[in-house]
């Protein structure tokens, strides 16, 4: 063996499968190391709703036999994976952070499409990760499971709504995680926790059951680097008849696309989308440095804004209406169990009329057309993922910010849920408190492979390498 078991939790999925194939170590050894990290990550950040050690070790032993026989089930055979507790996972309750969901209220005998594709490929499921109630906000705390802290500073938020997944990946509790993103929910915590995440083009990753938030909601990989996300995308984009809105097969392998150069790409750099966004000085500097790296690799950079207006009111209409739909079946007593903030937005959403909703859809369509026109001249749009770094855990908005809802401090993420474009967050530095900073890469619809190619180039150039959180190796390391 060339790698000590205690170090296996720090390896990427790509490195793990290469090690399995070479006989350097086994899925059982890797899973034991990850389970040890999962317990430590849970103690540090409260990022899990459940850890399934026995199931994980059983699956790892089966994987080890397949690797010994030279017959792995797929590209992620034996790789430890975690799943956000909004996605159905066979054999485990999906509680969605809510005291209104009964653990014994269903058979829990079905996998979501992305979970099913990973299981078919031999992935080892470690556990379910925390989410705010029904994934409604951009931080991770819930009445059922409490507050999830940041791996770099547990007193700060991990972001959300896929905060548990981000913290788990950052701390070595599995190199791959499935999150969901309806307004930034994989990119916000990726930025705050120093990992990589992709919100793929809507429909590229099948989703079932359909989200009550409609076509705002995407499934997205959360990983240590862009190469692992490409590996994961090659698995989870497989078709599933249960999602009537899924896209057709991808044009080719996402992993193969990583080798293409970024030289010649037309990159628009917009420091604030042209809006009055107070971007923290250290964030702005780190993002500009990442853009300079792309320029050094031969990309053609132009600092320009896409000339769009902030669609936050349309987003609120769609998002709050979706939230109202989530809880529509609940009685008064059950509603008293909800997160107070969620109750407020549900009440607001229930007041919207069908005409309000359709007006928001009109705004959404116009925004999508504007971004389609913009991308006819630019391959990528680059912005900060967040204008700030992680703030106090347990709060929906930063103290003293003047914001009333989470959308106030995350203006760069939700517009691209409205437009259904692929968007990724890449770590690009840390602030003076050692908290991660993310840069967002946005592509035209269906340009997922191009976004991954540019993100991978940043990793290869060393621009995405940041200090590790306590008790783990560098998130981008192998």
Q: Let me know if 353 is a catalytic residue.
A: no
Q: Which residues contact 26 (CB under 8 A, 6 or more apart)?
A: 20, 60, 64, 67, 78
pLDDT of residue 472: 57
Q: What is the pLDDT along the chain (478 residues), one digit of tens a residue?
A: 344 444 899 999 999 999 999 999 999 999 999 999 999 999 999 999 999 999 999 999 999 999 999 999 999 999 999 999 999 999 999 999 999 999 998 999 999 999 999 999 999 999 999 999 999 999 999 999 999 999 999 999 999 999 999 999 999 999 999 999 999 999 999 999 999 999 999 999 999 999 999 999 999 999 999 999 999 999 999 999 999 999 999 999 999 999 999 999 999 999 999 999 999 999 999 999 999 999 999 999 999 999 999 999 999 999 999 999 999 999 999 999 999 999 999 999 999 999 999 999 999 999 999 999 999 999 999 999 999 999 999 999 999 999 999 999 999 999 999 999 999 999 999 999 999 999 999 999 999 999 999 999 999 999 999 999 986 544 444 4
What is the chain's length? 478
The two beta strands, 146-147 and 176-181, are unpaired
> Which entry of 142, 165, 177, 185 is annotated as an active-site residue?
185
Q: Is 161 a catalytic residue?
A: yes
| CB atoms inside a 10 Å sphere around CB 367 | 20
DSSP string of 400-469, one letter each residue:
TS--SSGGGG-TTTTHHHHTT--EEEEEEEE-TTS-EEEEEEEE-TT-HHHHHHHHHHHHHTTTT--PPP
- Annotated catalytic residue within 84, 128, 137, 199: 84
Domains of the chain in start order, with CATH, are 8-102+109-460 (3.90.1300.10)
Catalytic annotation, pick one of 26, 121, 161, 191: 161
């Amino acid at each position: 063996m060339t790698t000590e078991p205690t170090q296996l939790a720090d390896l990427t999925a790509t490195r793990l499968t290469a090690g399995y194939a070479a006989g350097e170590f086994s899925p059982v050894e890797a899973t034991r190391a990850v389970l040890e990290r999962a317990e430590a990550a849970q103690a540090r950040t409260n990022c899990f709703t459940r850890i399934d050690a026995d199931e994980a070790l059983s699956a790892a032993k089966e994987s080890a036999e397949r690797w010994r026989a030279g017959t792995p089930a797929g590209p992620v055979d034996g790789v430890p994976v975690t799943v956000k507790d909004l996605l159905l996972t066979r054999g485990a309750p999906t509680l969605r952070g809510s005291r209104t969901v009964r653990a014994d209220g269903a058979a829990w005998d079905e996998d979501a499409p992305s979970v099913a594709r990973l299981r078919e490929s031999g992935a080892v499921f470690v556990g379910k990760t925390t989410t705010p109630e029904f994934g409604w906000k951009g931080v991770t705390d819930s009445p059922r499971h409490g507050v999830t802290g940041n791996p770099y500073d547990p007193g700060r938020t991990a972001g959300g709504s896929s905060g548990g997944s981000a913290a788990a990946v950052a701390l070595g509790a599995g190199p791959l995680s499935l999150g969901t993103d309806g307004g930034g929910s994989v990119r916000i915590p990726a930025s705050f926790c120093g990992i990589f995440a992709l919100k793929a083009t809507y429909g590229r990753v099948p989703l079932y059951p359909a989200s009550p938030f409609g076509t705002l909601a995407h499934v997205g990989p959360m990983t240590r680097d862009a190469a692992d996300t490409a590996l994961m995308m090659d698995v989870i984009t497989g078709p599933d008849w249960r999602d009537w809105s899924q896209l057709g097969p991808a044009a080719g392998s996402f992993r193969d696309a990583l080798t293409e150069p970024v030289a010649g790409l037309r990159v628009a750099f917009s420091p604030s989308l042209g809006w009055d966004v107070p971007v923290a000085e250290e964030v702005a500097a780190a993002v500009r440095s990442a853009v300079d790296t792309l320029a050094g690799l031969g990309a053609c950079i132009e600092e320009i804004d896409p000339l769009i207006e902030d669609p936050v009111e349309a987003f609120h209409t769609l998002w709050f209406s979706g939230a109202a739909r989530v809880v529509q079946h609940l009685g008064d007593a059950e509603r008293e169990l909800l997160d107070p903030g969620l109750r407020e937005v549900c009440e607001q959403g229930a007041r919207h009329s069908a005409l309000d909703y359709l007006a928001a859809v009109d705004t959404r369509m116009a925004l999508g057309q504007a971004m389609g026109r913009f991308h006819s001249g630019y391959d990528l749009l680059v912005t900060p993922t967040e204008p700030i770094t992680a703030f106090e855990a347990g709060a929906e908005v930063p103290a003293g910010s003047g914001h009333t809802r989470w959308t106030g401090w995350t203006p760069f993420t939700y517009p691209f849920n409205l437009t259904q474009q692929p968007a990724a967050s890449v770590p690009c530095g840390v602030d003076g408190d050692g908290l991660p900073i993310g840069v967002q890469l946005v592509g035209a619809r269906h340009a997922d492979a191009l976004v991954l190619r540019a993100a991978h180039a940043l990793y290869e150039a060393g621009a995405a390498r940041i200090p590790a959180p306590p008790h783990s190796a560098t998130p981008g390391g192998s």
